[in-house]
Amino acid sequence: MQVRTIQYKEIVDQVASMCQEANFELGQDVVAAFQSALKTETSATGKDILEQLILNADIAKSERVPMCQDTGVSVFIVEVGQDCHIQGGSVYDAINEGVKKGYEEGYLRHSIVDHPITREKSKGYNTPSIIHIEMIPGDELVIHMSAKGGGSENMSALKMLKPSDGLEGIKSFILDTVAKAGPNACPPLVVGVGIGGNFERCAYLAKKSLFRHIGHRSELPEIAALENELMEKINQLGIGPQGMGGNTTALDVKIEIEPCHIAALPVAVNLNCHASRHKELRI
Amino acid sequence: MTARQITNPISEETLLELKAGDRVLLSGTIYTARDAAHKRMFEALQNGEQLPFDIAGQTIYYVGPTPAKPNQVIGSAGPTTSGRMDKYTPALLDKGLKGMVGKGYRSPEVIESMKKNKAVYFAAIGGSGALIARSIKSMEVIAYADLGPEAIHKLTVQNFPAVVIIDSEGNDWYQIGKQQFQEEGPV
């Protein structure tokens, strides 16, 4: 069996560059969602906000400055091909070194405290990052990165529902989470939902769903229909851009499901602000 | 809807005229402070010490900017979530703080204190830090330099766009704005 070798240094450099690109250049899917919302938004203030967000994305891209001062926690989902070998150090160290380099050289904000209680500032520039590893067949290394803002993360929620709460219970928990978040999570939002698995797994599924492009629907027809239905209901809440009223509260709703215990119905709702910064690279 | 030009510090007369939902452009001097600086100011007051600057009549902007590039006054500088400052805010309002700029809900305690002290809460557009930086003309660290992006900075702003969310009578634009567009009853 052939094993492919990937150099540690290559991961460092590519991750550094992807961190900067994520913060400077908003994905085309998000910009297109702003433009589409501008056509349907009926609030004058809401329209004005969407226009400013489009202008802000243009400035960030052309001047190579972060679109938002909260350059986030760097969250990675790394798919490691089982036939690839990383030479020179661990994949965790390579990614953290890349984040440190990318954030420091890109004038991105260092937003991590080492100790959650004493709030002591971390010594590594915006590290440690949060790194999830998934093993895949083949010899590729696929790195998905998100610069995840704190405001929307703070308004996210997880609930262990009872199986008898059913679909209605799931819907009302999601709507309730978005309603409570209101302006705090920086709407218009991308709403990521994980259903099933267990306590920690549903949170991971919710996060993972946010890495899907806006407009990309679940391959399961009943879940795609639920995504559409929730999108419509969320946009009827009236929260609007920045919570100042309007019918653009969500740019998209993403749902991932997994099998779970006979006694359980875990649901996690991970909110992403409109600065939905996601990048992907393959080595 | 045209935006009203406001000079900071804001005169008492202007403060009382501002109504929830008004769009404004702020010009003049404002100060930055977020979580860590608020905690220190609050503790200073509890210990009977002076605040590091005279906040009477002033406006605080809840922001932790990105580091400035060599050719910039300030890095990206949009608002952070105001609710995290709620615990410390009534004490500052009692000391004469008149304006706050951030984003997101305020607690009932803060709103009561704003009514009592006649203060105004503005929101800037969260996530538009690159655009907002253009309206910031100068920046100077005046206290708690060790806090880095969380230090207290004195800013000179020109035509800084914001919306009055809570006015000095306690009217809340987040509630009013939402009700206008709600298509179904509350969840």
ipTM, 2 dp:
0.92
In total, how many domains does chain A have?
2
The answer to the question of residue B62 being in a domain is: yes
The answer to the question of residue A118 being in a domain is: yes
Specify whether A135 is located in the same domain as A181: no
pLDDT in tens, chain A (283 residues): 688 999 999 999 999 999 999 999 999 999 999 999 999 999 999 999 999 999 999 999 999 999 999 999 999 999 999 999 999 999 999 999 999 999 999 999 999 998 999 988 777 899 999 999 999 999 999 999 999 999 999 999 999 999 999 999 999 999 999 999 999 999 999 999 999 999 999 999 999 999 999 999 999 999 999 999 999 999 999 999 999 999 999 999 999 999 999 999 999 999 999 999 999 999 9
Lowest mean pLDDT among A74-78, B14-18, B164-168, B180-184: B180-184
Q: Which amino acid is at B49?
A: E
Specify whether A188 is located in the same domain as A108: no
Is-contact A161 A282, C-beta < 8 A? no
- Is residue B154 very low, low, confident or very high in pLDDT (cuts 50, 70, 90)? very high
Query: What sign does the CA torsion over B69, B72, B73, B76 have?
Result: negative
Residue B162 main-chain phi, psi, to 5 deg: -150, 170
Check residue B148 and give its pLDDT: 84
Strand ranges in chain B using DSSP code E only, listed in sequence order:
4-8, 23-32, 59-61, 99-102, 120-123, 136-143, 152-166
- Is residue B184 very low, low, confident or very high in pLDDT (cuts 50, 70, 90)? low
Single pTM value for the model: 0.94
Residue ending a domain, among A98, A130, A148, is A148
Domain assignment of residue A164, given as a range? 151-276
CB pairs under 8 A between A and B: 169
Domain assignment of residue B40, given as a range? 4-181
The answer to the question of residue B187 being in a domain is: no
CATH assignment of the domain containing B139: 3.20.130.10
* Catalytic position from the list B38, B98, B103, B106: B38
Q: Which of A189, A228, A208 is nearest to A280 (CA)?
A: A208
CB contact under 8 A, A182 and B134: no
- What span, in angstroms and rounded, lies between the C-alpha atoms of A249 and A183? 10
Query: What sign does the CA torsion over A180, A73, A20, B155 have?
Result: positive
Antiparallel, parallel or unpaired: β A141-148 and A84-87: unpaired
Tokens of A99: 């984040």
**Active site includes B153?**
no
Is-contact A100 A82, C-beta < 8 A? no
Specify whether A8 is located in the same domain as A141: yes
- Is residue B131 very low, low, confident or very high in pLDDT (cuts 50, 70, 90)? very high
CA angle A243, B136, A63 (to 5 degrees): 85
Residue ending a domain, among A114, A130, A148, is A148
Q: Does B80 touch chain A (CB under 8 A)?
A: yes
Is-contact B71 A63, C-beta < 8 A? no
Specify whether A156 is located in the same domain as A141: no
Specify whether A9 is located in the same domain as A108: yes
**What is the total residue count of chain B?**
187
- Is residue B187 very low, low, confident or very high in pLDDT (cuts 50, 70, 90)? very low
- Is residue B1 very low, low, confident or very high in pLDDT (cuts 50, 70, 90)? low
Residue ending a domain, among A125, A148, A171, is A148
CB contact under 8 A, A186 and B103: yes
Specify whether A239 is located in the same domain as A103: no
Q: How far is A51 from chain B (nearest CA, A)?
A: 11
Helix orientation angle between A28-40 and A44-63, rounded to the nearest 10 degrees: 160
